[in-house]
Amino acid sequence: MSEHLYNSSDLNSVLRTLSTLTNPAVTSGDVLPKKAETHDPQRSRPGVTQLVQSGPISPAKKPAPKSATLDPSTIITWPAALRYVMTTVGQDEETQLRIRGLITSQHKHEKQWWKAREALLERQRARGDKKKELNAVLILATRRSIGAPVDSTMAPPLLTSEKDENADELELAEYDRKVYKASVTMANALISELRGMKIPFFVTQKSLIRQEDAPASSNEQTGDLLTNSDLSDLQRRMLGLLEDICKE
């Protein structure tokens, strides 16, 4: 019967089950026989009811990892960032799932944009081939209409239109412009998500970033600051690490 009431590995379940088995008619005012009081060696121990009333036993909390207590906005070196990420993201399945979703979405959009560009180039080539065929037919027809000799074994010269070539180039440039704008928007959204997850080098305090061409002040230790180019390199390196950690 007890197997259907609780899981033996759950201490709280055991205590709740035992409390239901105690005699509800016995109250705190009831007095046990003197024989039980004088001869029961277990009387000095806390009873089941007392144990249940004391509440469930809370498991001892493990101390947080030292690196996890570090403020990620103050990290400016790769070793410190690596330790922090491995003890936070590396041990958090939910965060890994979120990052994996961001990476998958980015790769999906990049493939779609590339395939669409290849399809556009193919359409332009197809349009060019059709125009060349039409030009060839028109040239042959013109020669026949004026009685000029026509050599069927020799292909007629093909006419190309500079206007058409420019139109294709403009069309491709416009597509590339739209893709670039979309990729910037996607990158900003990705960075915003990483900031929300407190990923090092994406939440770096502005006071720790120095412009390359800005002169250092007398009170500033430039060796303890990051330049914008250094920060960009570290961000790219961090993205590679996150991708490795969150691989499916």
pLDDT for 116 beyond 70: yes
108: three-class secondary structure by DSSP:
helix
Same domain, 7 and 35: yes
Mean pLDDT of 126-133: 73
- How many other C-beta atoms lie within 10 A of the C-beta of residue 203? 17
Residues 134-183 have pLDDT tens digits of 666 666 666 666 665 655 555 555 555 566 678 889 999 999 999 999 99
Same domain, 197 and 226: yes
- Amino acid identity of 24? P
Same domain, 103 and 183: yes
pLDDT for 1 beyond 80: no
For CA atoms 17, 23, 25, 29, the dihedral sign is: negative
- Amino acid identity of 239? L
Same domain, 13 and 102: no
- Amino acid identity of 10? D
Indicate the number of domains in the chain: 2
Contact 238, 201 (CB under 8 A): yes
Same domain, 41 and 109: no
Same domain, 126 and 178: yes
For 84, the domain range is 72-130+174-212+222-245
CA distance 134 to 132: 5
Residue 139 lies in a domain: no
Residues 49-99 have pLDDT tens digits of 443 444 454 555 545 454 457 899 999 999 999 999 999 999 999 999 999
Alpha helices in 71-92 (DSSP H): 78-88
